[in-house]
Each structure stands twice: as C-alpha cells, then as structure tokens.
C-alpha cells in the first residue's frame, strides 16, 4: 500500500515536465508563429496606435523570454487572463463550459468502452467466423466515419425523420438551467433537485451527442480488444482453466477479458486525444455549449486570451487523464513493481 502511494506521488511528479512542454508548445504556436496575434485579432485594418495599445495591454511588447516566464507563472497560479471581447475572466468562461464537455465525454467514453470491449471480446471468441468478420468490418468502417458526419446523420434519422431525440443544446426550450444549476453537470444537478422532468429532458438531449462520440471511438476499441483477446486466449492459463472444467463464458469474459483489459487500459491514455477532438466536433454539430464551442466562437471573435486558456485547459486534461490511467493500471495489475 505504501508502495502504491509512493508510485502515485512519483508518477504525479513525472507529469510536470510533460505539462511544461505542452505549455511551451502552446506558447510557441500562439506567439511565435508568423502573424501577430493583435493585428490578426483586430482584423489587420486597425490604426497603428490601437494596435500598439493592445500590445501593451497584453504585454506583447516585452522581450519574449519575459513573456514566457510571465505566461508560465500565471498558468501556475491558474490565472488565464481576461477575455478581450467580453468583460470576463477566462477562467470563469471556462469553468462555465467545462462541465458540459466533461458530461459529454464521460458518457461518450462509457458507450465506447461498453460497445468496443464487448464486441471486440465477442469477435475474438468467435474468431474466423462470419460474425467475427462482420465485427471487424464494423471496426474499420466506424473508424473511417468522421464524427461530425455521423452526428449529422444521427440528427437526420433520429432527430428529424423519427423525431425521437432533440438535436441541439443541453436542455429543451421549457427547461431553465438556472432553476437547478449548481455543479454545472446537469444530470447531477437535476438529480440533486429531484426535478425529474428536467432530468429526463437533459438525458434525452445527451443521447445523440454521446452516441455520436461513443460510436466513432468504439471502432478503435473493438480492434484493440480483439487483438489483445486473441493473444490472451492463446495463453496457457486459459487452457489450464478449461482443463479444470471452468465454463467457456467465464473463461472468455472473466479470465481472458480481465487480462486483455490491461493493455487496453494503457492505450486508453492515447485515445483521450481522439476523445477530445471528437468532443469539439460533436459540440459544434449539436450546438452543445462546451469547451469546443467556446474555442471556436472565440476564434471567430479573435479573443486571443480565451483561445489560449481553452487550449491550456485541454492540455491539462490530457496530462491529468494519462496520469489517472497509469494510476488505475498500477492498482489493477498486481504484477506491477513500483
């Protein structure tokens, strides 16, 4: 147990250089690239004086290394500056939108995991049959369907033609988030308030976006699970379990899947990037008021500090989730030596 704690601490410390590099990359991309953010922001037609004023206000006329130190210093204090177009702290804008994105990605990931892992395990169990081929085909095809198009198609079929689910936003017209808003996670908020109509409405709104995100990513997990299951099913302990009279289902879905899950878990850290990219696109398709929408809106408005802030938060989320995955890995696998 003490070992585990030590491992978690050292692994957490190891995230720091990664975060620093990510922050540096963001700095480089947003400040050193050709094109001055201020003139880009003001559309290139602003008078010289206005540009100069803005530059001063943003501290962009100081030497680069001072800007960099200042930038890192402020991020460390969770100070992301102030929006240039609205009278609003960037952190405030973000904390307003972050729960929506987390709610969406969490449910998307859940759908992906359930679908991907079950189908992958099933395909491996039935390897080299028609059902296996069909599932493999599903994996390839689904991987090639852009998440934004899948979203539009689901909107068309289930939102417009069948009219089962709403196709935009987090709540319907007659539901007012201000009535229950608390944590920002609407499902939790409505549950806390025991407001069942609102809960149902929020859940209905979540269905299509979450499935869009979940279905798209499930292709990768089908393939990962299937490949790992095939390896594990060849292992001696599977044969040994069979020789003891353990049933086939228990062997495939307990013995094998448990072992196959460990490499899948390690891969999950890398899929987070895809999850977030998918979330941004899904948010745009479904007018989901999350981080992706915020980022794009502010890009159109050329609100430079907010753009930077949103990207930083995405970077921090990536670092945090890969840390989390490693820690879960350490807890699940008894073999790991810290």
Query: Using CB under 8 A, which residues numbered 249 to 288 contact another protein?
Result: 250, 255, 258-259, 262, 269-270, 272-274, 276-277, 280-281, 284-285
Complete DSSP assignment for 3-46: HHHHHHHHHHHHHHHHHHHHHHHHHIIIIISSS-HHHHHTTT-S
Closest among 156, 97, 73 to 291, alpha carbons compared: 97
**The binder of another protein chosen from 188, 203, 204, 246 (CB under 8 A):** 246
**The binder of another protein chosen from 123, 198, 315, 323 (CB under 8 A):** 315
Select 78 or 160, whichever has its Cβ closest to another protein.
160
CA distance 124 to 20: 41
Complete DSSP assignment for 221-255: HHHHHHHHHHHHHTSHHHHHHHHTT--HHHIIIII
Query: Using CB under 8 A, which residues numbered 225 to 244 contact another protein?
Result: 230, 235-237, 239-244
Select 65 or 300, whichever has its Cβ closest to another protein.
300
Counting contacts by CB under 8 A, is residue 247 touching another protein? yes
| Shortest reach from residue 150's CB to another protein, in Å | 8
**The binder of another protein chosen from 34, 47, 63, 249 (CB under 8 A):** 34
Count how many Cα atoms sit within 13 Å of the Cα of residue 266 in the half-sphere of its side chain: 8
The b-or-e profile of 70-98 (16+ CB within 10 A means b, else e) is: ebeeebeeeebbbbbeeeebbbebbeebb
**The binder of another protein chosen from 7, 68, 148, 253 (CB under 8 A):** 148
193 φ, ψ to 5°? -85, -5
For tokens 């196709």, name the residue: 167
Residue 316 tokens, joined: 């921090």
Beta bridge partner(s), residue 89: 82
Q: Segment contacting another protein (CB under 8 A): 4-12, 73-81, 87-95, 295-303?
A: 295-303
Beta bridge partner(s), residue 82: 89
| Shortest reach from residue 102's CB to another protein, in Å | 15
Select 27 or 199, whichever has its Cβ closest to another protein.
27
Counting contacts by CB under 8 A, is residue 194 touching another protein? no
Select 38 or 198, whichever has its Cβ closest to another protein.
38
CA distance 338 to 5: 10
| Shortest reach from residue 280's CB to another protein, in Å | 6
| Shortest reach from residue 261's CB to another protein, in Å | 9
Query: Using CB under 8 A, which residues numbered 109 to 138 contact another protein?
Result: 127, 133
| Shortest reach from residue 200's CB to another protein, in Å | 22
Counting contacts by CB under 8 A, is residue 75 touching another protein? no
Select 37 or 305, whichever has its Cβ closest to another protein.
37
Select 13 or 160, whichever has its Cβ closest to another protein.
160
Site string for another protein, 7-26 (x = CB under 8 A): ----------xx--xx--xx
**The binder of another protein chosen from 180, 199, 314, 329 (CB under 8 A):** 314
**The binder of another protein chosen from 4, 50, 156, 331 (CB under 8 A):** 156
Counting contacts by CB under 8 A, is residue 155 touching another protein? yes
Residue 201 CB partners (closer than 8 Å, separation 6+): 171, 172, 175
Closest among 265, 230, 248, 298 to 82, alpha carbons compared: 298
Residue 257 CB partners (closer than 8 Å, separation 6+): 117, 121, 229
């Amino acid at each position: 147990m003490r070992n585990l704690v030590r491992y978690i601490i050292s692994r957490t410390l190891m995230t720091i250089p990664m975060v620093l590099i990510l922050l540096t990359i963001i700095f480089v991309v947003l400040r050193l690239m050709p094109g001055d953010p201020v003139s880009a922001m003001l559309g290139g037609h602003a008078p010289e004086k206005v540009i100069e004023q803005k530059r001063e206000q943003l501290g962009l006329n100081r030497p680069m290394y001072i800007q960099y130190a200042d930038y890192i210093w402020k991020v460390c204090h969770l100070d992301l500056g102030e929006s240039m177009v609205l009278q609003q702290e960037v952190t405030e804008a973000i904390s307003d939108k972050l729960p929506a994105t987390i709610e969406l990605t969490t449910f998307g990931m859940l759908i992906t995991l359930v679908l991907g892992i079950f189908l992958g395990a099933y395909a491996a169990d039935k390897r080299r049959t028609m059902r296996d081929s069909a599932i493999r085909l599903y994996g390839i095809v689904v991987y090639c369907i852009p998440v934004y198009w899948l979203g539009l198609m689901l909107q068309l079929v289930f939102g417009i033609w069948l009219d089962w689910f709403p196709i935009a936003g987090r709540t319907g017209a007659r539901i007012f988030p201000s009535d229950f808003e608390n944590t920002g996670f609407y499902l939790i908020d409505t549950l806390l308030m025991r407001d069942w109509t609102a809960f149902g409405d929020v859940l209905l709104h979540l269905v299509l976006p979450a499935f869009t995100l979940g279905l798209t990513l499930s292709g990768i997990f089908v393939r990962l699970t299937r490949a790992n299951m095939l390896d594990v099913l060849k292992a001696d302990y599977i044969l040994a379990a069979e020789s003891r009279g353990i049933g086939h289902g228990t062997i495939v879905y307990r013995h094998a899947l448990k072992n196959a899950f460990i490499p899948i878990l390690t891969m999950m850290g890398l899929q987070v990037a895809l999850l977030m990219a998918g979330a941004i696109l899904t948010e745009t398709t479904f007018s989901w008021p999350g981080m992706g929408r915020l980022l794009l809106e502010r890009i159109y408005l050329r609100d430079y500090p907010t753009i930077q802030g949103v990207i930083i938060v995405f970077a921090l989320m990536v670092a945090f989730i890969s840390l989390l995955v490693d820690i879960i890995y350490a807890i699940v696998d008894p073999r790991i030596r810290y």
